[in-house]
Amino acid sequence: MPDHNDVRPRTAVLTRGFDPSLSVGSARPAVFRSSTYVFASPEEAERAFAITGGRLQPEDGKRPDLIYSRMSHANAEILEDQIVPLEAGAREAAVFNSGMAAIMTAFFTFGRHRGTIVYTTPLYGGTTGLIRQFLEPFGMERIAVPAGDSAALDEAISSARNLCMVLLETPANPTLTMTDIERACERAARHPDRPIVMVDNTFLGPAFQHPLQLGAGLVLYSATKYLSGFSDMLAGVALASDPAVIRMIRSRRSMFGNILQPDECWMLDSRLPTVSLRMNRQSKNAQRLAEALHGHKLLSRVMYPTLFEDPEQIRIYRKQCEYPGAIFSIEFKGGKPAAFDFLRNLRTARNAVSLGGVETLTCHPKSTTHSGMTPEELAESGVTDGLVRVSVGIEDWRDLLADFEQALEAVANASKVESPTV
Ligand SMILES: *Cc1c(COP(=O)(O)O)cnc(C)c1O
């Protein structure tokens, strides 16, 4: 296969990973739905098993022959090769049938009985559930640190015993609070247990934030979001600069049977060349909307990186993010009734969970995505009654702003009816 390591990432995503001569000259990859692969000879079969079992080293840069599709298959290999150049610093990738599958498999690769995981809060609800309802009863210790509290994170990492994993999710959902990735990696590197630092990069990656270049050992994605971008599939990805990390993860994936299926691999690889185009447009739209809504009389806060006021948050944002991204949150002074009235009155933007798609989606985190959190956790992470999260799409931003303004107007009118004295 030709070597395309000499071109830039936006070119490589179109040229790497796929050799048309292996798909009867087809310009786009075929979908290989086969569950099993025919060996050239019994010797090749023996060799493939020896490599997969770790008894034989594959030649540098070469993949072993395919065996059986739960271990790997042609479309997974194409997708994995193609996605690597999008993540700065990555050398290998593994794809999964959801973001949670990627996170779970990483946990079961690097976690161990009586080991400790240090993580920022809030995390994605599914990840929090996995840690609290599964890892902890299973015998792992957990230490949660509020997002953005660098000193507390330093202390948690330094003092943890049997530390095997540090998981950062930055910016945090839905408040956009940022955690300093490089600082956490430096701390972790000084710990005698040499824990792996994992970053859930779903919100800003792969376009705007590059954790592997800041020292992280593993980057995780829900590819259900920006990577696929059309709210029509589930997928997950793990990427690392050390190929051994991905080899270990792939071997767990073979046991768990959670590899992404061929059709989904084919769909996702067709979306990759437009990830940075979509994310750039979405980020520009979001910045225009967030800045236009900032200071609105019905809102107590607009949470967005270009509107940060805390100097430490501004410093982290400038240091580790290229653009502010396409998610912002607004907080209504009128609490839950105002937030619900707003969601009820939007016409262009839809009320749905999830994010990262080309269409604008809005939700009320406290009663939906974050409803599993305790009152203390909600308060600590700033998920209030009046908070609405917005994932901005690629629509014309002027239509979105008009939609938001008419919905805000409706909220203002509703509150006048409810309290005629005001
Ligand atoms: C959606 C999401 C996940 C889970 O991904 P799925 O594809 O739904 O399994 C994990 N982390 C973050 C930050 C997410 O937004």
Measured from the Cα of 224, ligand 1's closest atom is: 7
How far is the centre of ligand 1, averaged over its atoms, from the C-alpha of 100 (Å)?
A: 6
Q: How far is the CA of 99 from the centre of ligand 1 (A)?
A: 5
If you take atom 8 of ligand 1, which residue's CA is the nearest one?
A: 99
What's the pLDDT score for residue 56? 87
How far apart CA 233 and CA 224 sit, in angstroms, is: 6
- Do the two domains 9-273 and 275-418 of this chain adopt the same fold? no
Say which amino acid occupies 257: G
On the CB side of 99, CA atoms within 13 Å amount to 22
Q: What are phi and psi of 234, to 5 degrees?
A: -110, 135
Distance CA 366, CA 420 (A): 28
Which residue among 107, 128, 225, 354 is best mutated to probe the pocket of ligand 1, counting the most ligand atoms within 8 A of its Cβ? 225
Taking the domains of the chain in order of start, what are their residue ranges? Answer: 9-273, 275-418
Q: What was the pLDDT predicted at 175?
A: 94
Beta-carbon contacts of 420 under 8 Å, excluding residues fewer than 6 positions away, are: none
Can you read off the two tokens belonging to residue 385? 């009654």
Ligand 1 pocket, residues with Cβ under 6 angstroms: 98-100, 124, 126-127, 169, 173, 200, 202, 222, 224-225, 234, 236
Give CA–CA dist 140/111, Å, rounded.
8
Compute the distance between CA of residue 241 and CA of residue 199 in angstroms, rounded to an integer: 13
pLDDT score, position 2: 45
pLDDT at 61: 66
With the C-alpha atoms ordered 132, 135, 136, 141, is the resulting torsion angle positive or negative? negative
* Six token digits for residue 420: 């005629």
Residue 283 has a pLDDT of: 98
Atom of ligand 1 nearest to the CA of 173: 13
The C-alpha atoms of residue 277 and residue 267 are separated, in whole angstroms, by 17
Pairing of strands 196-200, 218-222: parallel
Query: Nearest residue CA, atom 4 of ligand 1?
Result: 99
Query: What does DSSP assign to residue 113?
Result: T
Atom of ligand 1 nearest to the CA of 103: 10
Q: How many C-beta atoms surround the C-beta of residue 395 within 10 A?
A: 17
How large is the angle between the packed helices 397-418 and 335-345, nearest 10 degrees?
130
Instruction: Find where tokens 């944002």 sit.
Output: 317
Residue 204 CA, ligand 1 centroid: distance in Å:
13
Residue whose CA is at the smallest distance from ligand 1 atom 7: 99
**Of all atoms in ligand 1, which is nearest to the CA of residue 100?**
9
Name the residue with tokens 């589930």. 234
Tokens 């061929």 map to which residue?
Answer: 262
pTM (two decimals)? 0.95
Q: Which residues contact 359 (CB under 8 A, 6 or more apart)?
A: 231, 350, 393, 395
The whole-angstrom separation of Cα 300 and Cα 57 is 59
Q: With a cut of 50, list the residues of the chain below it in pLDDT.
A: 1-4, 422
CATH number of the 275-418 domain: 3.90.1150.10
Q: How far is CA 147 from CA 171, 184, 198, 307, 323, in A?
A: 8, 12, 15, 17, 19
Spatial separation of the C-alpha atoms in residues 55 and 110, rounded to whole Å: 21
What pLDDT is stored for residue 15 in this prediction? Answer: 87
Q: Say how many Å lie between the CA of residue 14 and the centre of ligand 1.
A: 26
Q: What dotted CATH number matches 9-273? A: 3.40.640.10
Distances from the Cα of 47 to the Cαs of 43, 52, 74, 291, in angstroms? Answer: 6, 9, 18, 59
